């Protein structure tokens, strides 16, 4: 069970949250001009990092607000919490655990 | 079978070798495979010494005559998902493409122990999938009919037939998970997962394949878009072709090769109880409640749970996931409530958006990926290795795996098997 630090409610159990997957995936700016490969990239391709991963969470059974976290996908340690729309924090992403 | 002169009759397993070795107090069994140092170069290097990788090497050597092959493994053989799954085998997938692939695998399973001269303990005890509501019933009859049209055995059972088939199950399930029907594939069942890895390893080794353990891959050497070889903890190994079959770590390997995959990696959990006398002689699965259960030959109840919701490479699962599964199992099998659980573990599964695998060529020439089996890789071990060997040897996919290309995410030709795959493997 992860303890996820909701920036609005504080630390809560993982079961209160929904997962939103990888953060910072930009929708093609000009959809009419996007090729099939661009759409495949946007819809399906993921970095799936073993290490520090930037991801979105929704406090579904709480304040119902979205936010981003940076989490290590081996230790599951939460390294940073930041609001939607903010750029990812600068972290040592190659750090081994 | 043709052992290619590598394996003498003395090393062949049989009732006679068993008796001979029993008389020698089992102290003289020959090693099942060699542990060679890597050669400087191979025609084909397979990355990943799980069932799929070892099967690939075996079929390359046996069916395609490609014997200058190495399998390199980060840890030990079958130490990843091959040794962590719940050992279920079935082929009743919905779409023609999947059904053909999984049924090819099923046919290989049916002769595998004889083919490998290794008892993989394949037991066609039946796999019964439960329906708990009207929607489940409709989805099940659609899938069952599709299977029968495709020549794959499937029977729809009424609650009364289910009660006769599995007397220990409570069809009311405490009112939470009432059993309204089920679909049974009688040719489905289980196999001993470790034996599958060891059997393929021994048979591949006998045909000249080098199996190199404790040898993590640290990078790929790629010139002008063509792979030249593999950087490993034991030095550079030159390779004409590289096949990558690493399940949960597919994304890590793709990153080293400079491209991305439509895959996310998550832990999938399973657990086993203390051993008890025979109580359950089939496999029960329920996609709706994310639970599946069978009894091993040792008497342990083997229970499979769901995946975590988030990306993770820690080989352990989140407790709420297994709690949900155990809750449902206890409603369906009230007599299991007093059992103690002995072990709970996780394996990292590589999940595709359409719950179907990717088997084929990549943006790097000479490099092939076999990944995305997600929660259902074990059942397809023989078929996966077989088609991947064909793909590598001929530098083009076999008809069976052509639809499972990486390119389908660009063309939109997805093979949506969420219904048939579920988590139930």
pLDDT value at residue A97: 54
Compute the mean pLDDT over every residue in chain A, rounded to the nearest whole number: 93
pLDDT value at residue A96: 59
Q: What is the mean pLDDT of residues B179-187?
A: 97
Residue A93 at interface with chain B, using a CB cutoff of 8 Å: no
Distance CA B49, CA B244 (A): 10
- Whole-model pTM: value is 0.94
Write out the DSSP string of B190-249.
E--HHHHHHHHHHHHHHTT-EEE-S--EEEEEEETTEEEEEEETTEEEEEEEEEE--GGG
- Hey, are the CB atoms on B251 and A43 less than 8 Å from each other? no
- Hey, are the CB atoms on A48 and B261 less than 8 Å from each other? yes
The string of pLDDT tens digits covering residues B82-120 is: 999 999 999 999 999 999 999 999 999 999 999 999 999
Please report which confidence band the pLDDT of residue B247 belongs to, taking 50, 70 and 90 as the band edges. Answer: very high
A-facing residues of B in 391-410 (CB < 8 A) are 409-410
Rounded to the nearest 10 degrees, the angle between the axes of helix B193-206 and helix B51-63 is 30
Residues with pLDDT less than 70, chain A: 93-97
Among the partner residues B252, B262, B310, nearest to A50 by beta-carbon distance: B252
What does the block give as tokens for B200? Answer: 């393929």
Residue of B nearest to A38 (CA): B410
The string of pLDDT tens digits covering residues B287-307 is: 888 889 999 999 999 999 989
Distance CA B412, CA B414 (A): 6
Q: Is the pLDDT of residue B2 over 60?
A: no
Beta-ladder partners of B283? B127
The string of pLDDT tens digits covering residues B129-143 is: 999 999 999 999 999
Distances (CA, A) of A67 to A73, A84, B216, B404: 18, 5, 36, 35
Q: Is the pLDDT of residue B5 over 70?
A: no
pLDDT value at residue A92: 75
Cβ-based contacts under 8 A for chains A and B: 71
pLDDT value at residue B236: 98
Distance CA B26, CA B43 (A): 37
Distance CA B7, CA B26 (A): 19
* Cα Rg of chain B, angstroms: 21
pLDDT value at residue B82: 96
Q: Is the pLDDT of residue B7 over 60?
A: no
Residue A49 at interface with chain B, using a CB cutoff of 8 Å: yes
pLDDT value at residue B356: 96
Compute the mean pLDDT over every residue in chain B, rounded to the nearest whole number: 94
Please report which confidence band the pLDDT of residue B4 belongs to, taking 50, 70 and 90 as the band edges. Answer: very low
Distance CA B126, CA B273 (A): 21
Distance CA B264, CA B262 (A): 7
- Hey, are the CB atoms on B309 and A74 less than 8 Å from each other? no
Q: Which pairing describes strands B181-185 and B155-157: parallel, antiparallel, or unpaired?
A: antiparallel
Q: Which position has the higher pLDDT, B214 or B420?
A: B214
Distance CA A5, CA A78 (A): 8
Please report which confidence band the pLDDT of residue B257 belongs to, taking 50, 70 and 90 as the band edges. Answer: very high
Distance CA B52, CA B392 (A): 14
Q: What is the mean pLDDT of residues B31-59?
A: 97
Q: Is the pLDDT of residue B266 over 50?
A: yes
Q: Could you give the 3-state DSSP secondary structure of residue B60? A: helix
Q: Which residues of A touch B265 (CB under 8 A)?
A: 48, 50, 73
Please report which confidence band the pLDDT of residue B368 belongs to, taking 50, 70 and 90 as the band edges. Answer: very high
Q: Is the pLDDT of residue B424 over 70?
A: no
Please report which confidence band the pLDDT of residue B3 belongs to, taking 50, 70 and 90 as the band edges. Answer: very low
Tell me the ipTM for this assembly.
0.93
């Amino acid at each position: 069970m992860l303890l996820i630090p909701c920036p609005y409610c504080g630390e809560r159990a993982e079961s209160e949250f929904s997962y939103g997957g990888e953060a910072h995936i930009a929708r093609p700016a000009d959809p009419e001009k996007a090729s099939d490969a661009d759409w495949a990239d946007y819809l399906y391709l993921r970095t799936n990092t073993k290490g520090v991963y930037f991801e979105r969470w929704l406090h579904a059974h709480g304040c119902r607000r979205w936010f981003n976290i940076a989490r290590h996908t081996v230790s599951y340690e939460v390294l940073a919490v930041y609001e939607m729309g903010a750029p990812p924090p600068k972290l040592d992403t190659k750090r081994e655990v | 079978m043709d052992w290619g002169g590598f394996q003498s009759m003395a090393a062949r397993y049989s009732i006679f070798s068993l008796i001979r070795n029993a008389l020698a107090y089992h102290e003289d069994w020959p090693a099942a495979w060699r542990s060679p140092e890597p050669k400087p170069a191979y025609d084909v290097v397979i990355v990943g010494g799980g069932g799929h990788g070892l099967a690939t090497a075996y079929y390359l050597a046996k069916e395609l005559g490609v014997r200058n092959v190495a399998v390199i493994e980060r840890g030990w053989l079958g130490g990843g998902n091959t040794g962590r799954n719940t050992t279920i085998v079935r082929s009743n997938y919905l779409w023609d493409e999947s059904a053909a692939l999984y049924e090819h695998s099923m046919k290989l399973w049916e002769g595998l122990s004889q083919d490998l001269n290794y008892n993989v303990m394949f037991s066609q005890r039946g796999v019964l999938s439960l329906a708990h509501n009207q929607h489940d019933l409709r989805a099940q009859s659609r899938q069952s009919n599709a299977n029968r049209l495709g020549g794959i055995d499937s029977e729809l059972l009424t609650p009364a037939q289910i009660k006769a088939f599995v007397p220990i199950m409570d069809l009311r399930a405490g009112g939470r998970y009432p059993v309204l029907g089920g679909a049974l594939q009688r040719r489905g069942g289980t196999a001993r997962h470790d034996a599958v890895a060891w059997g393929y390893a021994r048979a591949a080794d006998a045909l000249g394949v080098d199996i190199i353990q404790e040898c993590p891959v640290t990078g790929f050497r790629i010139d002008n878009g063509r792979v030249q070889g593999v950087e490993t903890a034991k030095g550079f190994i030159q390779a004409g072709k590289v096949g990558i079959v690493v399940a949960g770590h597919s994304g890590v390997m793709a990153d080293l090769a400079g491209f991305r995959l439509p895959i996310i990696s998550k832990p999938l959990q399973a657990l086993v109880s203390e051993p008890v006398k025979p109580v359950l002689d089939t496999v029960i699965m329920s996609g709706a409640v994310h639970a599946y259960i069978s009894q091993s030959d040792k008497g342990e109840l083997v229970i499979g749970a769901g995946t975590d919701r988030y990306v993770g490479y820690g080989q352990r699962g989140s407790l709420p996931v297994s709690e949900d599964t155990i809750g449902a199992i206890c409603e369906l099998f009230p007599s299991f409530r007093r059992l103690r659980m002995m072990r709970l573990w996780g394996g990292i599964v590589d999940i595709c958006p359409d719950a179907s695998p990717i088997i084929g060529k990549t943006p790097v020439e000479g490099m092939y990926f076999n990944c995305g089996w997600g929660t259902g890789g074990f059942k397809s071990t023989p078929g996966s290795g077989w088609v991947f060997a064909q793909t590598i040897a001929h530098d083009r996919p076999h008809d069976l795996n052509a639809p499972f290309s990486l390119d389908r995410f660009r063309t939109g030709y997805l093979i949506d098997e969420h219904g048939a795959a579920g988590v139930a493997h």
